[in-house]
């Protein structure tokens, strides 16, 4: 099945077909600037990037994906060499650490977050500081192709030379230039011109040799150079947050196409903002929420992922804490169902009723699931399908009307769904098989408890423990956990 995705560059749905001869889908994702803890809006972006790759793989594509790690050059004002310091250096000063240690610290934290939300690693995580020579090469090409010029402060891209500038974002140079002229530094030719290479002061930390003297790269050039270096001149899909569309992605296109003369990205996929209480997150307003904060309040990072998937990635999502409660309940509903199915499948005997009316048509559900995702990553529809299956089969499961064979099929189906979702646990319950003997002891104990015969209940519990299982009483009945 082919993925059809909304292309923010052409403003239309586009079927994903490989543009290179080897048939591999090349994806470049704008990654984190490793200078502080990301907020949950950044995490939405990483999860959407992961969802895209997993969906493509699920649909049968071969994918090569890159997510960069920006550890130099992301200036507070990303277009001016003179205005705004490097975010890495501001963090280094704030935390009294070197920029290298800041980068290592927040890179490690970034990977820990990916792990917590069960995002698969991309194929490559290039560090900007390790690709400076590739950036210098792109800048050299831009100068020789007439797109860039040198000033006393650095090398700038001349946006007026690139006729397609503004096509992605709709910000045309003609519209904005007159009013913005006041803010232009004397050396910069046009308001939209942006810095490619910054000439560094002697004492500036993190600087490299270049044909234009010691300095460091601008932020935008990093993505163009790393994408080209690792994926080639033309890539299939470029992803990022909608807030990066201008100027960052607009500038990436100008640089990449200006240097190579070829189309840079075939499809652009942008996810919408995540707002908190209807506003953009801000530390000062106390609306800057991190994954740690979610965990501290007792929610699972995967419940946050479930919350994200309930909303389409191109819709704005307004985060409110009460939504985490229902997301938690929703995910627990799926997990409980899966736990019960696992318990059914590991039984030694199959005493569920085999009835043709209770059979699950896995093929049909698989198709519906793939269809939902193939339609521009329709996670809300995919989740609705999961609940449709639960609503249909849970009553059968409860009334012992589901055979073990059907249970195995349902489990396989949910496993294939979770290769995309990454939020269901299949592990714990499967480590040890619940034998018929243990299952009988459990039901005897259930009966004893109903009859308030606690002496017998305790005796049976001991016997269950002897068989290798701990048994706990919960609102959902007795729960078995294998003793390690
Ligand atoms: Zn980027």
Cα 122 to averaged position of ligand 1 atoms, centre (Å):
15
Give every strand in the sheet of 148-150, ordered side by side. 148-150, 154-157, 194-199, 215-217
Q: Any idea which of 50-54, 55-59, 126-130, 284-288 has the lowest mean pLDDT?
A: 284-288
Please state the pTM of the whole predicted model. Answer: 0.86
Q: Would you state the pLDDT for residue 78? A: 54
Give the chain as a 3 state SS string: CCCEEEECCCCEEEECCCCCCCCEEEEEECCCECCCCCCHHHHHHHHHHHHHHHHHHHCCCEEEEEECEECCCCECCCCCCCCCCEHHHHHHHHHCCCHHHHHHHHHHHHHHHHHHCCCCCCCECCEHHHCHHHHHHHHHHHHHCCCEEECCCEEEECHHHCCCCCCCCCCCHHHHHHHHHHHCCCCCCCCCCEEEEEECCCCCCCCECCCCCCEEECHHHHHHHHHHHHHCCCEEEEEEEHHHHHHHHHHHHHHHHHHHCCCCEEEEEEECCEEECCECCCCCCCCCCCHHHHHHCCCCHHHHHHHHHCCCCCCCEEECHHHHHHHHHHHHHHHHHHHHHHHHHCCCCCCCCCCHHHCCCHHHHHHHHHHHHHECCCHHHHHHHHHHHHHHHHHHHHCCCCCHHHHHHHHHHHHHHHHHHCCCCCCHHHCCCCCHHHHHHHHHHHHHHHCCCHHHHHHHHHHHHHCCEEEEEECCEEEEEECC
Q: Give residue 112 CA to ligand 1 midpoint distance, Å.
A: 21
* Residue 233 scores a pLDDT above 90: yes
Over residues 203-209, the mean pLDDT reads 91
Q: What pLDDT score does 185 carry?
A: 52
The pLDDT of residue 401: 82
Distance 249 CA to ligand 1 centre (A): 7
Could you give the percent of the chain with pLDDT greater than 90? 70
Reported as a pLDDT band with limits 50, 70 and 90, residue 353 is low
Mean pLDDT in the chain?
90
Average pLDDT over residues 298-306: 97
Peptide bond into 247 cis (omega under 30): yes
- All residues with CB under 5 Å from ion ligand 1: 30, 223
Q: Residue 354 has what pLDDT?
A: 55
Q: Which of 11-25, 65-79, 392-406 has the lowest mean pLDDT?
A: 65-79
Three-class SS of 315-367: CCEEECHHHHHHHHHHHHHHHHHHHHHHHHHCCCCCCCCCCHHHCCCHHHHHH
The Å distance, Cα 329 to ligand 1 centre, comes to 36
Distance from residue 17's CA to the centre of ligand 1 (Å): 23
The reported pLDDT for the residue numbered 211 is 98
What does the pLDDT average to over 72-100? 79
Structure confidence at residue 196 (pLDDT): 95
Mean pLDDT of 165-176: 79
Q: Strand pairing partners for 478?
A: 473
10 CA from centroid of ligand 1 (Å): 19
- Distance between Cα 32 and ligand 1 center (Å): 9
Beta-carbon-side half-sphere exposure of residue 376 (alpha carbons within 13 Å): 17
Name the nearest CA neighbour of 50 among 374, 426, 419, 425.
419
Contacts of 326 (CB under 8 A, 6+ apart): none
Q: 88-92, 246-250, 266-270, 311-315 — which is least confidently predicted? A: 88-92
pLDDT one-digit tens code per residue, 21-47: 999 999 999 999 999 999 999 999 999
Mean pLDDT of the 194-201 span: 92
* 139 Cα–ligand 1 center, Å: 16
- For residue 100, report the distance from its CA to the centre of ligand 1, in Å: 20
Question: Per-residue pLDDT averaged across 221-250, rounded?
Answer: 96
Residues, the chain? 484
| Per-residue pLDDT reduced to its tens digit, 8-18 | 999 999 999 99
427-448: pLDDT as tens digits? 755 545 677 788 888 889 988 9
How far apart are the CA of 40 and the centre of ligand 1, in A?
18
> Which comes out higher in pLDDT, residue 297 or 479?
297
User: Average of pLDDT values for 267-278?
Assistant: 95
Cα 42 to ligand 1 centroid, rounded to whole Å: 13
pLDDT band at 400 (very low <50, low <70, confident <90, very high): confident
363-378: pLDDT as tens digits: 999 999 999 999 999 9
Residue 63 pLDDT exceeds 70: yes
What spacing in Å lies between the alpha carbon of 101 and ligand 1's midpoint?
22
């Amino acid at each position: 099945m082919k993925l059809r995705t909304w292309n923010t560059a052409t403003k239309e749905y586009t079927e994903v077909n490989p543009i290179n001869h080897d048939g591999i889908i090349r994806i470049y994702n704008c990654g984190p600037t490793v200078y502080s803890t990301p907020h949950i809006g950044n995490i939405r972006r990483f999860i959407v990037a992961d969802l895209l790759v997993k969906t493509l793989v699920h649909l049968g594509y071969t994918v090569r994906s890159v997510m960069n790690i920006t550890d130099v050059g992301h200036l507070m004002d990303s277009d001016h060499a003179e205005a705004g310091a490097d975010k890495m250096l501001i963090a280094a000063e704030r935390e009294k650490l070197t920029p290298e240690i800041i980068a290592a610290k927040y890179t490690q934290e970034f990977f820990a977050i990916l792990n917590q939300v069960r995002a698969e690693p991309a194929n490559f995580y290039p560090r900007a500081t390790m690709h400076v020579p590739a950036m210098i090469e792109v800048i050299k090409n831009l100068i020789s192709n007439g797109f860039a010029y040198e000033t006393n402060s650095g090398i700038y891209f001349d946006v007026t030379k690139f006729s397609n500038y503004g096509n992605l974002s709709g910000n045309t140079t003609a519209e904005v230039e007159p009013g913005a002229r006041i803010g232009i530094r004397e050396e910069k030719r046009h308001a939209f011109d942006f810095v490619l290479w910054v000439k560094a002061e002697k004492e500036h930390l993190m600087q490299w040799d270049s044909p234009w003297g010691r300095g460091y790269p601008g932020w935008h050039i990093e993505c163009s150079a790393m994408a080209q270096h690792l994926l080639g001149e033309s890539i299939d899909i470029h992803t990022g947050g909608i807030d990066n569309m201008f100027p960052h992605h607009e500038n990436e296109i100008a640089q990449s196409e200006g240097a190579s003369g070829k189309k840079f990205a075939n499809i652009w996929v942008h996810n919408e903002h995540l707002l908190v209480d209807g506003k953009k997150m801000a530390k000062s307003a106390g609306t800057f929420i991190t994954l740690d904060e979610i965990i501290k309040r007792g929610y699972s990072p995967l419940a946050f992922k479930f919350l994200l998937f309930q909303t389409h990635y191109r819709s704005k999502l307004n985060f409110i804490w009460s939504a985490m409660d229902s997301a938690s309940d929703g995910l627990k509903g799926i997990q409980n169902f899966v736990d019960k199915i696992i318990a059914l499948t590991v039984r030694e005997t199959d005493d569920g009723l085999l009835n043709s009316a209770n059979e699950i048509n896995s093929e049909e559900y698989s198709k519906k699931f793939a269809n939902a995702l193939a339609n521009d990553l329709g996670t809300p529809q995919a989740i609705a399908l999961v609940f449709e299956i639960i609503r249909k089969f849970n009553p059968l499961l409860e009334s012992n009307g589901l055979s073990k064979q059907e249970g195995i099929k349902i489990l396989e189906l949910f496993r294939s769904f979770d290769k995309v979702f990454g939020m269901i646990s299949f592990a714990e319950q499967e480590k040890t098989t619940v034998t018929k003997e243990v299952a009988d002891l459990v039901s005897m104990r259930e009966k004893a408890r109903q009859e308030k015969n606690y002496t017998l209940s305790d005796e049976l519990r001991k016997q269950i423990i002897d068989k290798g299982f701990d048994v706990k009483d919960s609102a959902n009945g007795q729960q078995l956990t294998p003793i390690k």
